[in-house]
Amino acid sequence: MPADHEARPPQRRVWASLPAEAEPVLRVTLPPTDLQTLMLDVARSRAQAVTPARLVQRWRHDRFVRPAAADPRLLAEVENRLWSLLPERFAGVVLSPVAPLGTTAALGTLDQNRVISTVRGTEVVSDPTNPLAVEAAVRRSADRRMVGRVDLAAAHRVIRGQVFDGPGQFAHFALFALVSSGRDRGSGRTEAEMIVDHLRFYAAAVATIAPSAAVELTVSTFRRNAVDERLDELLPEVARIAPNVTVLPDTSRTHARGYYTSHALGIGALHDGQLADLGDGGLTDWTSRLLADAKERCLTSAISIERLAVLAG
């Protein structure tokens, strides 16, 4: 948390309303377990003061708790189709609704205000690729020689703290995520093969679930390296998966530069003249940092189950 002079105006206002000695105690001095005990006690007191009328009011106006407008039967059908199309090399993971506090900030370097933090030292999962990368690192470390690639998948409903202003956008939504982690084998082979494996799945999934849509997959290079040479050899096979699939370079992309290391993926579909943004992905240094090993390579990606369901419906 930033120092007081760096805090945002709402934070400065709250700190100013407390005794001056409270800030260093709460920020630094109080042990984490004691802080948790204090926050749980505060939460208990506030929960006991909630009335049924206040509960209904919060239900109506709190964007974090309102149900989504999507048809759950259609979402379940699309999710089942995604699982059925997933290659066997990907192991399914049922993620917990929460991850250790700081997971998103430590890996994705995003502001903690975009995440719902809990008083128990956890945070509600806002991106399934973060905990999947941690799980991949744990599984990689279990293999003492770390020679086998780890490929994981999860379907998870996430919730995010930032405000979404667009029509039909909610604070919580369902994602189908993939994470692959493996050892650098030189010449960009590991990274290129992971990228092609992810794109191959998304090409087949969108083409099968939304056959009337034209699938548009993009690959962006933020920093050219040996991976590009391998991709030139491998990407044409992705476009051959179905007649309505195209794979294009996106040389103008700047979004997520720095979040992804050298290459990013885009998953889209053209339907009724409109291009729908279905998902995103890219190479990261997450498992490299988690395992303190510069030779580790990691690719993360995810597709929106709800947006895919709209195309399928």
pLDDT tens figures, 265-306? 999 999 888 899 999 999 999 999 999 999 999 999 999 999
pLDDT above 80: residue 146: no
Token readout for 75 is 């979402």
pLDDT above 90: residue 81: yes
Q: Which residue matches tokens 């903690």?
A: 112
> Mapping DSSP to helix (H, G, I), strand (E, B) and coil, where does residue 105 land?
helix
Counted residue by residue, the chain has a size of: 313
β-bridge mates for residue 98, sequence order: 124
Mean per-residue pLDDT, 142-162 = 85
Outline where the chain has alpha helix (H): 9-17, 22-24, 32-48, 52-61, 72-85, 103-108, 129-142, 189-209, 226-239, 286-290, 305-312
Q: What is the pTM of this model?
A: 0.89
Q: What is d(CA 52, CA 264) in angstroms, rounded to the nearest whole number?
A: 47
Give the model's confidence band at 7: pLDDT under 50 very low, under 70 low, under 90 confident, else very high: low
Mean pLDDT of the chain: 90
Token readout for 232 is 């030139």
DSSP string for residues in 148-200: S-EEEEEEEEEE-SSPP-STT--SEEEEEEEEEEEE--STTHHHHHHHHHHHH
Sign of CA pseudo-dihedral 45, 46, 51, 55:
negative
pLDDT score recorded for residue 304:
96
| Contact present, 94 and 154 (Cβ < 8 Å) | yes
Q: Which residue matches tokens 């997933």?
A: 86
Mean per-residue pLDDT, 29-57 = 91
Question: What is the amino acid identity at position 151?
Answer: D
In terms of CATH architecture, what is 72-312?
2-Layer Sandwich (3.30)
pLDDT score recorded for residue 108:
84
Of the CA atoms within 13 Å of residue 113, those in its CB half-sphere come to 8
